[in-house]
Amino acid sequence: MRPEPDTFSVALVIPRSGPAGMLGLSCELSARLAAEELNAVDGVGGRQIRLLPVDGGVAPQHVAMEADRLVSAGAVDAVVGWHISSVRRAVVPRVRGRVPYVYTTVYEGGERSPGVLVTGETPARHLLPAMRVLGEACGVRRWCVVGNDYVWPRVTARAAREYARACGARIVSATFVPLGTRDFARVLRRVERCLADAVLMLLVGEDAVLFNRAFAALGLHQRCLRLSTLMDENMLLASGPEGTVGLWATAGYFETLATPESLGFGARYVRRFGAHGPPVGGLGESCYEGVRLLAALSSAGRSRPPRHRWLPGRPSEAGVLDLPDFDGARGILRVRGNHVEQPVYLAEADGLDFHVHTRL
């Protein structure tokens, strides 16, 4: 099962099922675009990139077992992808120190495992400044949290309490629901009773879509804003224009982001997959950057032993991390520690598009 000597095989862990399954195709196509562009030049040190999709939407331990099987068999040279933190926490012990693992998802922060690179946004970088802007511009003083019941929403909610105090506001209610929740009536009654100025949404995929629809159907959008740190154009489209009124999002990339690099990436995506393909969105874009980061890391000579020379999280012989800058969909990005430094933006939903207001 070992890959051919002239291929660089990558386990692409993306959701193909579950609440986040609606995001999987955008992630897969974006990763494929990165691989095709790199293969058209030199691949990874002359080796052609080959993606092996793994369903990251099933139970975390099942994902971890599949990643372990592929790595142990020598079938993959690396792991990359967008998937929730529960999956990451299960996968890390299985692959840590054996192959590079690029985790591209917005997450709660704190990942420092050797061999793991993180390209997603963290609460201090995007949530705190977004809460500050909405407090100053929209007078938000009372926040309510609605999230899925796993590590990312719960840790982020704890951080949000500190951020609210720093902004002269407070969290007046917090509710967590299982992944795959379809009925939000009880949650929305609680939102209504607590008289919040804004809801911090920490919901994934279809759960966020159903919440948006139910929120609007009750008319709560007329007096209460929503802020999501995980809301891409696929979820916006599925929510419908009525479900997006008063919805804000913060992310490192939006499809409407008008920078030369982002516009060029969007044009290449549409040219390759057609105008009627799934919106690329920030979650798909993260997989594009994840593949390009892997290529930069490996082309710099860090994909082969001695592994301590390339594993992020371990110092070089000079005692400092030696990781390459890389070219993503937003220009040149820098890796510091094992996290990618990146611009972050605040946008407001305008029907089925995002209007980017400011860089945070």
pLDDT, one tens digit per residue, over 92-141 is 999 988 899 999 999 999 998 888 999 999 999 999 999 999 999 999 99
33: nearest Cα among 308, 274, 296 = 274
Domain 7-122+261-341 has CATH 3.40.710.10: no
Q: How many Cβ atoms from other residues are within 10 Å of residue 305's Cβ?
A: 7
- Average model confidence (pLDDT) across the chain: 89
pLDDT over 80 at 229, yes or no? yes
Instruction: Name residue 82's amino acid.
Output: W
123-252+345-359 CATH choice from 2.60.40.10, 3.40.50.1380, 3.40.50.1000, 3.40.50.2300: 3.40.50.2300
Instruction: Compute the average pLDDT of residues 339-359.
Output: 91
Q: How far apart are CA 258 and CA 222, in angstroms?
A: 29
Distance of CA 114 to the CA centre of its chain: 20
Give the model's pLDDT for residue 339.
86
Question: Higher pLDDT residue, 271 or 314?
Answer: 271
**Could you tell me the pLDDT band of residue 81, with boundaries at 50, 70 and 90?**
very high
Pairing of strands 326-328, 78-81: unpaired
Give the model's pLDDT for residue 328.
82
**Per-residue model confidence as pLDDT tens digits over 292-305:** 998 888 766 544 43
**Per-residue model confidence as pLDDT tens digits over 130-140:** 999 999 999 99
| Cβ atoms of residues 105 and 85 within 8 Å | yes
pLDDT over 90 at 185, yes or no? yes
287: nearest Cα among 312, 336, 314, 252 = 252
Could you tell me the residue ranges of all domains in the chain?
7-122+261-341, 123-252+345-359
Give the model's pLDDT for residue 226.
97
pTM of the model: 0.90
**Do 7-122+261-341 and 123-252+345-359 show the same overall fold?**
yes
**Per-residue model confidence as pLDDT tens digits over 2-58:** 556 688 999 999 999 999 999 999 999 999 999 999 999 988 888 899 999 999 999
3-state secondary structure of 176: strand
